[in-house]
Amino acid sequence: MDIISLQSGSAGNCFYIETKGVKLLFDAGISGRAAQQRLDQHRKDIRDVDALFVTHDHSDHSRSIGVFQRKFGMPVYITKKTLAAVNRGLKLGILSEVRFFSAGDVCTVKGVQVHSIPTPHDSADGVAFVVDDGTHRVGILTDLGHVFEGLKEVLRSLDAVILESNYDEQMLDTGPYPFHLKDRIRGTGGHISNREAADLLNECAPSHLQWACLCHLSEENNSPEVALQTHHSTLGEAIQLFVAKRDGCTEIMQL
C-alpha cells in the first residue's frame, strides 16, 4: 500500500491510498489543482483515481467534491445526509457519478474493501474509514468527536493509522479562541487532543501497528513539535510517527 496525506487540517483535508492497483482518495477539502500537483510530485496521476470517499460535510473535507468528480472523472462515495448537508452550504454543481452508502456500510472498489464507521463528530452524518485490501488494514480516523465506543476495537485491528491529534489541551485552554469555540473543540462533537490520541495509541496499538500519521493538527492550538512531544513521551519509540502537514503532502507512507 502507498499512503499519502496530501494535506490535513482545518484549511483542507485529502488523503490518497493505492493498493493492488486500486487508487482511492478520501475527502476533497483542497483544490483540484493542489491535489493534482501534490500527486504529480509522487508520480501519481489523479485521473487514475478509482473513487473519492467523503467523511463528512464540513467544507475542509468537502469543498472540491464537484471539481474532483467532473475534472478528474472519479465517482463519489458519500452518504445521502452528507451530500444534502454539503449542498445546503455550497454549490457543488452537477455530480454525474454518485454512489450512496449508509454510515456503517462496507463498500468494495475492485476488490478493495472500504469500511465506514459512524462518528459522533458535529456534522450531519460523519464517518471514519478503514481500507482493507485483504492483506493490510489502514484507518483514516479524523474528526472523531470524542473517543467513542468501538473506536479502540477499530484501532486494534489496524496495521497503520492516520489519526486525528487536533490540539494541545493547555494551548487550547490558554489560547485566543473564544470560549464557545474552545467548548466546541473539546466537546463530544469536536476533535480529539494530542493527549487522547497518544493514550489511544498507547492502549490500543498492537505490536503489528507499523506507523501512525498524526493529522488535523490545529494551527493555533497545536504544532508538529508539541504533538510529537506528547506522543513520544507517552509511546516512547514504540511506533513510527509521521505528521500530516497543514499546507502540503507527506512522503509516501508504505505498508
Stretch in the footprint of Zn ion (CB under 5 A) among 14-22, 71-79, 138-146, 154-162: 138-146
Q: Calculate Rg over the CA atoms of the chain.
A: 17
Judged by CB under 5 A, how many residues of this single chain contact Zn ion? 3
Contacting residue, 38, 58, 63, 137, with Zn ion by CB under 5 A = 58
In this structure, what C-alpha cell is assigned to residue 165? 491529534
**Largest Cα–Cα distance in the chain?**
49
Determine, following the binding rule CB under 5 A, whether residue 168 of this chain makes contact with Zn ion: no
- Closest CB 56 distance from Zn ion, rounded Å: 6
Determine, following the binding rule CB under 5 A, whether residue 164 of this chain makes contact with Zn ion: no
Stretch in the footprint of Zn ion (CB under 5 A) among 65-73, 80-88, 140-148, 155-163: 140-148
Contacting residue, 143, 164, 168, 196, with Zn ion by CB under 5 A = 143
Point out which residues pair with 100 in neighbouring strands. Answer: 78
In this structure, what C-alpha cell is assigned to residue 23? 487508487
* SS3 label, residue 26: strand
Of the pair 143, 168, the CB lying nearest Zn ion is at: 143
- Closest CB 213 distance from Zn ion, rounded Å: 15
Distance, CA of 46 to CA of 25 (rounded, Å): 9
- Closest CB 67 distance from Zn ion, rounded Å: 18
In this structure, what C-alpha cell is assigned to residue 194? 494530542
Strand 240-243 and strand 211-215: the pairing is: parallel
Determine, following the binding rule CB under 5 A, whether residue 57 of this chain makes contact with Zn ion: no
In this structure, what C-alpha cell is assigned to residue 71? 475534472
Stretch in the footprint of Zn ion (CB under 5 A) among 72-80, 96-104, 130-138, 141-149: 141-149
Stretch in the footprint of Zn ion (CB under 5 A) among 78-86, 110-118, 143-151, 245-253: 143-151
Of the pair 1, 185, the CB lying nearest Zn ion is at: 185
HEC per residue, 83-136: HHHHHHHCCCCCCCCEEECCCCCEEEECCEEEEEEECCCCCCCCEEEEEECCCC
Determine, following the binding rule CB under 5 A, whether residue 60 of this chain makes contact with Zn ion: yes
- Binding residues (CB under 5 A) for Zn ion: these are 58, 60, 143
